[in-house]
Structure 1
Amino acid sequence: MIFQRALRRELASAAGATFTVLFSILLTWMLIGILGKAAGGKIASSDVMSLMVFSALMQLPTIIILTGFISVLMVVTRSYKESEMVVWFASGLSLSRWIWPVLSFGLPLVLATGVLSLYATPWAQKKSDEYVARFEKREDLQKVTPGQFRESAGSNRIFFVEGVSGEKNVVQNVFVNTVDEKGSAVVVVAREGVINTDAKGERFLVLKSGRRYQGVPTQADFQTMEFEQYIMRIESKQQEMGADLGVRAMSTMALVEANNQFTMAELLWRVSAPLIGLMLILLAIPLGFVNPRAGSSTNLIIALLIFFTYSNLIKVIEASVKQGRMTFGLAWWPLHLLAALAVVVLFAWRLNVNHRYHPLVLLAAFKRARRAGNTSKAAPK
């Protein structure tokens, strides 16, 4: 049908524009956050692009849900504003004829949301956690960015290096300030530093051609020593890679097999994502009504409020499952059933607008009766 092809083409165009805007906002927001972490020494600067990709994958289900909802709403609202719906209804066609072409456009988005939510998002979360854990597992000196001060994991040592040579474990012009529990400070400056590993796997920082100063900062009796070679032991984190990365990084099958309140809460959100997308796409059809004579529409604001309310209610139910107040079997479906009932009610509202028991018809009849009563009272006897 020509109408269905034209509608799908318009929906695809609106979805492309909406996705571009939302994804650009998302990338800007993520870039600011990740660059801030890199500047603060929480992640490696070489991992910024990889973490950007993983973060984008984790946020894609939400972006796709919003894209489908807003694009359908925009197309339906435009049809009302430009009086195309007046012609549509005058031709004897109902609003329900929009359901199939909208579903043919929206179901691929729902499927993509499900695949991303169930498979791609946990994989991206796992890789992102591994990148961060790998950086945290590195020795303190390897985390130092040339020209910046860096605090050690134990918070008792500060490093500063002026430059890094061709090898990753060799640094130039090293400054190390260590403070013990008694308040005594040890300052070591050296021309070069190298990280070595002994036969037992212990890590040591070997400093060459430098000076060592030791004393209490408020006192003048500092001890000074020049050295050709100075060895400092480096404390390394013993956490194994991939250990305890959290339920968000677990695969969907692993969540099902674990079967505890925390994994079931995460599974609830993953299952809910495509259902939210489907319900909102259908809800956008009756929600797109606007009076053609009105200057503007608040439908987009209402749509955003509905989306955030829907997703926040899912989060509330997820928290209830996590705390053990609800089981997964009783928690995953009631809210989506209410959303489906809301879709049916709104469609009935729009399809039977001229029915004698429609609320708007009853309200108009009440107003007419009230005006007639006022007129009869005001008429002269």
Structure 2
Amino acid sequence: MDDESTPGRKAANGEDSIYWDKSKGRFIGAVSLGYTPAGKRHRPKVSGKTKTEVRRKLRELRKELEQGAKAPAHHTVKQAVETWLAQGLKGRAPKSLETYRYLAATHIYPSLGAAKVRLLEADTLDEWLDEKAEVLATSSLRLLLSVLRRSIAHAQRRGRATRNVAELVAVPEGRPGRPSKSLTLEQATALLSAQEGKWIHVYVVVSLLVGTRPEETRPLTWAHVHIAPNDGSKPHIDVWRSVRRTGDTKTRKSRRSLAMPKQAVEVLEGHRNRQQAQFKAAGKTWTEQGLVFPSRVGRVMDASSVRINLRSLLKEAGFNNPAEWTTRELRTSFVSLLSDHGVPIEAISRLVGHNGSNTTERVYRKQIRPVITEGAEAMDEIFSRGHDGDAEAP
């Protein structure tokens, strides 16, 4: 019986070989197929925890390679990815398609695009990923490898590839991602005082004091903003929509009703009055089904437009590096401010609609529903300007 913990004899030329890779902690099996047109040895590989597992995989690989004689010899990685992008993503959101196309054009085509899928080797992909790990975060590397795996799998289903070598490699550790940050109380107070009366100020108030996601705030309609509810509940916002392809919130637990602090109520009421006056002056009919933050052509505001206007507001508020902030950090600031104020994490989880909360109720329109009030009450205490006295300047 072979010793499963040590490598065997060295394989002769033309034979399959099995050896121990100390860096991976696994046995590697290689099939020798001569040389590629570029002069490199063509040695497709498999890996496993034991020699027995590797031998089985080598037998399967040999069968696949025999069948592979029928696969197109010149089908390239770029062709495989382009075909998957055109045929394998039907019904996906345009934003997702844009991301995949960018990753392919920027990181796959320049390095691997001309390579033949049939001759692609795990070592080549390992080297490619290690190179990309110098400039990309781990999450981006995972997405990049996913694009390649799914493209080759799509080619397999259409007889253009016999094996998916991308399944044999692992994602290395990439560069640390951009750390998110939160506003301090002084920064938040300054931001809430900048550009009052403009739509971006209202957007910041809703995001920072109510805690909605950017993709929930941009498609918000007046029908979901209850400034003076008739059912006796507190003024609140129904977070029931997002800019996702289906229009649904991120998760079922993200669908929630959130009470508004007094400052948010006052700011939204003023914003609505100004919007109604603008519609009247333009000879248009204002309706509750309309957007709270419409673009100039009446559609959902583009994320980049919000970001540009936010950074303008940050500059006016005295921030040294406005470009370092994103709209999503208004939400992280909401969480941090509540946590610093002593609000229990379980309550915060409910407010932001995280899946970790087991107490978030699913709410429906036209019902007398439980409105989550902890956030509004805390924000009234944190930002008491104009109600219980002016807040201290930062």
After TM superposition, the score normalised by the length of structure 2 is: 0.20
Q: Which has the higher contact order (CA 8 A, sep 6+)?
A: 1
Structure with bigger gyration radius? 1
Which protein is richer in helix relative to its size?
A: 1
After TM superposition, the score normalised by the length of structure 1 is: 0.21
Which protein is richer in strand relative to its size?
A: 1
